[in-house]
Amino acid sequence: MHHQSAENAIYHAEMRGIIPVQAKNLHPAEIELIAIAMAGNEADDHTSAAATVLRELSGTRVEVARAREAAVKAWLSAMPLGEELERLRAELAAAKNRLAATAAEMPPLKSAIASTNDAAVARKEAAGEKRAAAEELRRRVDRARDELRRLRSEAAAAREEIGAVERRVLVRRQAARALQLAERAVAAEAHTLAWSAAAAAEQAARAPGAGADAAHHDVVALPARMLEELRRGVEAEERKAEARVEEAEALRRAAKARRAAAAARLAEARARKREAAEQGRRRDAENERGDNAARRSRSGGTRLAARKLPSWLCAVGRSGGRSQATAMAAHGTNR
């Protein structure tokens, strides 16, 4: 209805010569405004009102054209922004998808992290237990070493005491044999003197008289057989004494050899102990530097060392027992 009224107003205005025919090219809104203006001011001066409306409409048309041009320019300039907006929307959708995928992956990762933390705590506890076991084993080894040192010192003291006793017994045996030889020599000399006295008395009884020549009264006449027997007896005693001296020298050399062998065994045991201590220190250093695999190998090496230690102690004990048995056998031989 408004459109028809606007067309009627334009028609009447054209008929009256108020507006030109080009007013038909106006926008429907402009035509409607013209119709409203003409309908509202129809009783007034139609010429002035129509001119005023046309001026306003011309300004409005110019403004509308400018606005349309600005809108076209804005639309043209907004086309890259739309593409950018679409791209950003696509990136946002992709980011949302990635976020959703990440959120879906979070629970397994959290459970894996929790299990890893539990495994790390368990490994730490196991490592602490292994360190405690290693410390306890090290303390046991130290106590065993101290006990071994004490036993060795006691064995050395016992060997020294046995050696001193053997030396005293040897000296006393040599003194006893020397006394026996002296006693035998004194007995032989007494026997010789007694026999000489008897022979002298016999010779004196056989003398022809008191006034006879007494030039050889200090000479005792002995039969050649008896003199040879006395000489052989003295030589036999000398040979026995030399044999006893050689036997004593042989015993001394044997005791010296036994002491040297015992010292060599002691040095060998000390070398084995130093080597075992060095191996233990190397294992400790490797255990401190190693990772889980190294710690597992370290625990195996520690168990191996723990298994080898009693056998090593038994070997040392057997060597000490053999040395003590050798010393006791030598002592029995000296007896």
DSSP 254-266: HHHHHHHHHHHHH
Note the pLDDT of residue 297: 54
Residue 121: its pLDDT value, please? Answer: 92
Mean pLDDT of the chain: 71
How many of the other CB atoms lie within 10 Å of CB of 40? 11
Question: What count of other Cβ atoms lies within 10 Å of the Cβ of residue 262?
Answer: 21
Structural domain contains residue 255? yes
Question: Does residue 220 have a pLDDT over 50?
Answer: yes
Identify whether 141 is part of a domain.
yes
Residue 37 sits in the same domain as residue 93: yes
Residues 317 and 182 in one domain: yes
More confident residue, 229 or 297: 229
Same-domain status, 61 and 148: no
Q: Please name the residue that has the structure tokens 């723990």.
A: 306
Query: Which residue, 76, 97, 118, sits at the end of a domain?
Result: 97
Cα-based torsion angle of the residue sequence 190, 194, 200, 202 in order, rounded to the nearest 10 degrees: -160
Q: Is the pLDDT of residue 24 over 80?
A: no
Indicate the pLDDT class of residue 47, thresholds 50, 70 and 90.
low
Q: Which structure tokens are listed for 284?
A: 């400790």
Say if residue 89 is in the same domain as residue 156. no
Q: Which two tokens stand for residue 50?
A: 């129509």
Is residue 196 included in any domain, yes or no? no
In a domain, 170, yes or no: yes
Q: Are residues 157 and 264 in the same domain?
A: yes
Residue 177: domain span: 133-186+228-334
Q: Does some domain include residue 217?
A: no
- 3-class secondary-structure state, position 156: helix
* 148 and 280 inside one domain: yes
* 91 and 142 in a common domain: no
The verdict on 167 and 292 lying in the same domain is: yes
Residue 215 located in a structural domain: no
Q: How do residues 143-177 score in pLDDT, each as one tens digit?
A: 889 988 888 888 888 888 888 888 888 888 888 88
Please check whether residues 150 and 283 belong to one and the same domain: yes
* Domain count across the chain: 2
Q: How many other C-beta atoms lie within 10 A of the C-beta of residue 255?
A: 19
Query: Contact 244/177 with Cβ under 8 angstroms?
Result: yes
Position with higher pLDDT, 202 vs 4: 202
Are 42 and 158 part of one and the same domain?
Answer: no
Structure confidence at residue 117 (pLDDT): 92
What's the pLDDT score for residue 221?
59
- Please say which residue of 69, 97, 125 terminates a domain: 97
DSSP label at 18?
S
pLDDT in tens, 66-96: 888 887 777 777 667 677 778 888 888 888 8
Using the 3D structure, point to which of 42, 75, 97 is the last residue of a domain. Answer: 97
Helix (H, G, I), strand (E, B) or coil at 212: coil
CB count within 10 Å of CB 189 equals 10
| Residue with more model confidence, 199 or 120 | 120
Same domain for 288 and 156, yes or no, is yes
User: Do 171 and 88 belong together in one domain?
Assistant: no
Q: What band does 306 get if pLDDT is binned at 50, 70 and 90?
A: very low
Predicted pLDDT of residue 122: 92
In a domain, residue 102? The reply is: no
17 lies in a domain?
A: yes
Mean pLDDT of the 18-33 span: 52
